[in-house]
Amino acid sequence: MPKLPKYTLSHNDRTDKWVLKQDKSNKVVKSFENKTDATAGGALSKAIGTEGGSVKIEKLDGKYQEERTFPRSADPKTSKG
């Protein structure tokens, strides 16, 4: 199985928005008004597209809250959760 692209959802203090960035290029894929908009209703899945990927979700303090894999079937069997 090919490696999934990695992304991080974090808060940008300068713009006061939540941004989804691709880790490899540090390019902003999509920005959201708040964290709830970013994590609800398949918004992350739509933002990363059909290629899928792994998204690390940060808290406001910069610590990681959780990691989600899209599509779910691509989640490695050895990972927790």
Structural domain harbouring 22? 1-54
Residue 50, domain member (yes or no): yes
The reported pLDDT for the residue numbered 62 is 94
Q: How many domains does the chain have?
A: 1
Residue 74, domain member (yes or no): no
Residue 80, domain member (yes or no): no
Instruction: State the residue for tokens 């992304």.
Output: 7
Tens digit of each residue's pLDDT (9 = 90 or more) over 45-64: 999 998 899 999 999 999 99
Q: Is 51 helix (H, G, I), strand (E, B) or coil?
A: coil
Distances 13 to 10, 17, 74, 80 between C-alpha atoms, Å: 9, 7, 32, 31
Q: Is the pLDDT of residue 8 over 70?
A: yes
Instruction: Give the phi and the psi of residue 8 in degrees, each rounded to 5.
Output: -135, 130
The reported pLDDT for the residue numbered 41 is 87
Length of the chain: 81
The reported pLDDT for the residue numbered 74 is 61
